[in-house]
Amino acid sequence: DTAVSQTPKYLVTQMGNDKSIKCEQNLGHDTMYWYKQDSKKFLKIMFSYNNKELIINETVPNRFSPKSPDKAHLNLHINSLELGDSAVYFCASSQEGIGQPQHFGDGTRLSIL
């Protein structure tokens, strides 16, 4: 059983399109996150949700909108895709509590043509 699963694993699309990436965790965790890994492998937090509420929203264009229908799911919707959005997007989850590690999904590689 995959603990944190993302779909799709690969996404190739044209500039200007709208796309979504889905994330589900079956670990019973309270908190979920989205990270972006750029072409130089640098990872940066984008959003975090705790029990369906947005906690962190780093400096991310408002074309990116996370949606959490329940605490096991955190989807990422991206409008009007731009070339600079090409990256690997990782979903992660952790149990609320001091110092609990984050468990990552396998990532979604988004390529904008």
Binding region for other proteins (CB under 8 A) = 31, 33, 35, 40-45, 48-50, 55-56, 58, 88, 90, 92, 96-99, 101-104, 106-107, 109
Q: C-beta of 18: minimal distance to other proteins in Å?
A: 24
**Considering beta carbons, is residue 31 or 75 the nearer one to other proteins?**
31
Q: C-beta of 31: minimal distance to other proteins in Å?
A: 5
Pairing verdict, β 108-112 and 10-13: parallel
**Considering beta carbons, is residue 18 or 53 the nearer one to other proteins?**
53
CA distances from 10 to 21, 40, 69 (A): 10, 18, 23
